[in-house]
Amino acid sequence: MAYTVGELVAEFLPAVGVNTAFGIVSVHNIPMLDALSQRNAVRYVMARGEMGGAHMADAYARVAGHLGVVFTSTGPGAANAVPGLVEARFAGSPVLHITGQTATRFIDRDMGTVHDVPGQTDMLGAVCKRAFRVRAPQEALATLMAAATAALTPPRGPVSVEIPIDIQRMEVARPDWANIALNIPPAPPPEPHGLAAAIAALQQAKRPMLWLGNGAKGAREAALRLLDLGFGAVTSWNGRGVIAEDDPRTLGGLHGAGAPPVAEFYGSCDALLVVGSRLRGHETLDFALKLPKPLIHVDIDPAANGRTYPADVFVQGDAALTMHAIADALEAKPPEFQRDLAALKARAVAEFAATLGPYESFPATLRAVMPKDALWVRDVTISNSAWGNRIFPVLGPRDAVHPVGAAIGPGLPLGIGAALAGNGRKAIAMVGDGGFAVNLPELWTAVQEQAELVIMVMNDKGYGVIRHIQDYAAGRRFYHDLKGPDLMALAALAGLPGMRVASIEAFGPTLEKAFATKGPVLVEIDMSVIGEHPPYAPYNQVRKAG
C-alpha cells in the first residue's frame, strides 16, 4: 500500500515527542491532517482562526518546554498565523508551523490558483527564525528534522515548513522511526576569557544583583547557587519564576521600571550579572533605567552583546553552565545585602500595590485562592501592565505566559494552549474586554476542548490602557469606547459557566469558586462598578515637553 508524504508528517510528530497540535483543516493541508486523524497519536485542537491556533501552539510550547505545532493552509491561512508566529519569535518559543503550498507547477508564478500568494516563503522567513520549503518527496523527512531542530536550538523560535499539496500526496519510503531522533546541539560551555573576566569582577562585588531572562528558564539550580552565595535577583517579565517569587531574595518582575524604590536600590549595588535576557526597552523605560555597574552579560547568542545596554563583560555560553562555573569560583557575600533586599521588596511591593486604587488587594487575593501549581496567563490589559507583570507572585519557570511583544488580543488562545499543556493543571487567562474581542471565537475552542481554564475578563468597556496613554500623549481620549456583548449571556450561549464580580469583596470567593469548577469558566470583573484602574508608569507622570 502506498505511503505518502502526508502520512510521513503525521508519523513524524509523535516520533519527535509531539502529542498535541493546533490549527484549521483546509484544502491545502487535507492529506497531512487526514493522515493525522487516522493514527490517534496526536491530539488535534481545532482553532477557530489561524492566529488563535498559532498563539495556542506558542503557549503550549512555553508551558511544555517542547515543540508547539500549528497547521495552516497556504496563502491567507498562513498569513493569518503571522501574529502568533511574531509573538513566538518575541518569546523565544519553539513553534513548528506546517503549512501547505499551491501545487509545485504553480508556485511563485502568480497564476491565481486558490490561496496562491507569491512570496509566501519570504513572508514567513521575515517573522520566523527560519522558513523551509519541501521541493521533492524525498526531502520531506530531512526538512522536517531540520525545522524542528532549528526551533528547539537556542535561541529558540518559530520555524515554518511549506509542503506543496501535490508533494503531500506523493509516495515516499517509510522511515524507520525507531532510529529517528532530533540532534539538538549540546549546551555550549562559557567562553573562557569572558568567564575569567566575569569571575574577576564578581569576586570584588559585595552587593551583586542577578537579572534572569527567558534564556535562564532551565537554570534554576544554578541561579539558586548564586543566591545561596549572597546575590539578589530580579527577572525580565519573560524570565519570571526561574526563582520562585515567594523567595525574599528575588524581586521577580518588579525590576525597577516604574518602581522608584527599586531603581534607587540599584544605586547601592556594585555589580549586575544579566543571564539570558535582552534587557528589553519595554522593561527598562526605553533603556533610561540606570542599572548597576559593572554589567556582566551572559547569553548563548553572541548577537546579544551590546544589543541594548553596553556590557562591561560579555560571556557567550549556556546559562546554567556559566552560572555554575561562576558559583564554583566565588565565596559567600556579606549577608547584609540580602537582608536589605528583602526589606526593600516588602516595601516596594506594598508601595506599588497602593498605587492600584480599588484593585490594591487583587494580586494577593488572587494568589491566595489560586492553586499553587496553576498557570498564570495574561493579555496586554491595564491590570496586567500595572500589576500582573510586576507583583503577582510566579512560582515556576513555566508557570507564566504573556504577550512578550505587547500585542493586545492573544490572551484567550494563549490561555487555551497553556491549559492543554498543563495536563489537568488549572490555568487562568486575565484579559481585557478589548483584547478578548480580538480572538472571541476561540471561546468555543475552549468549550469544545474542555480546557481547564478560568477566563477572567477585566471589563472596563473599552481600551483602558490606550485611554491612559492618550491622556499622557495627547491630553484627550478618542476611539477607545467599545460596545461588547453581555458577558454572562455570552457564557450561556457558548455553554460554559459565567460568574460576575461587581465588588472588591466578591473577587476572592468568586475566583475560588471558578477554580473549583471543572472545565472552562468565564469570570467578568465589572470595572465600571468597582472603579477605573489608575494609570501605571510612565503614564501616571507629567509628560515632559518635547
> Is 90:445 a contact under the CB 8 Å cutoff?
no
pLDDT greater than 70 at residue 336: yes
d(CA 148, CA 95): 8
Report the pLDDT value the prediction gives residue 544, as an integer from 0 to 100: 64
How does pLDDT run across 28-40, given as a tens digit for each residue?
999 999 999 999 9
pLDDT greater than 90 at residue 546: no
Average pLDDT, whole number, for the chain?
96
Query: Reading across the β-sheet that carries 130-133, which strands appear in turn?
Result: 43-46, 20-23, 68-72, 95-101, 159-164, 130-133
35: amino acid identity, one letter:
A
Report the pLDDT value the prediction gives residue 399, as an integer from 0 to 100: 98
Report the pLDDT value the prediction gives residue 245, as an integer from 0 to 100: 98
pLDDT greater than 60 at residue 163: yes
pLDDT greater than 60 at residue 264: yes
Report the pLDDT value the prediction gives residue 539, as an integer from 0 to 100: 86
pLDDT greater than 80 at residue 248: yes
How does pLDDT run across 175-221, given as a tens digit for each residue?
999 999 999 999 999 999 999 999 999 999 999 999 999 999 999 99
Higher pLDDT, 463 or 298: 298
Report the pLDDT value the prediction gives residue 118, as an integer from 0 to 100: 83
**Cell (9 digits) for 177:** 522511526
d(CA 392, CA 255): 13
**Cell (9 digits) for 383:** 491590570
pLDDT greater than 90 at residue 69: yes
Report the pLDDT value the prediction gives residue 541, as an integer from 0 to 100: 80
What domains can be seen in the chain, in order of their start residue? 5-179 (3.40.50.970), 192-349 (3.40.50.1220), 361-530 (3.40.50.970)
Higher pLDDT, 246 or 103: 246
**Cell (9 digits) for 492:** 450561556
How does pLDDT run across 403-457, given as a tens digit for each residue?
999 999 999 999 999 999 999 999 999 999 999 999 999 999 999 999 999 999 9
401: amino acid identity, one letter:
V
Per DSSP (E only), the strands in 8-58 are 20-23, 43-46
Q: What are phi and psi of 389, to 5 degrees?
A: -75, -20
Mean pLDDT of the 260-285 span = 96
H helix runs in 372-520, sequence order: 382-383, 411-421, 433-438, 442-449, 464-473, 487-494, 504-515
3-state SS assignment for residue 79: helix
Report the pLDDT value the prediction gives residue 111, as an integer from 0 to 100: 66
Report the pLDDT value the prediction gives residue 117, as an integer from 0 to 100: 81
How does pLDDT run across 178-188, given as a tens digit for each residue?
999 999 999 99
pTM score, two decimals? 0.96
pLDDT greater than 90 at residue 394: yes
Cβ neighbours for 515, distance < 8 A, ≥ 6 positions apart = 369, 370, 371, 374, 426, 428, 454
Report the pLDDT value the prediction gives residue 107, as an integer from 0 to 100: 82
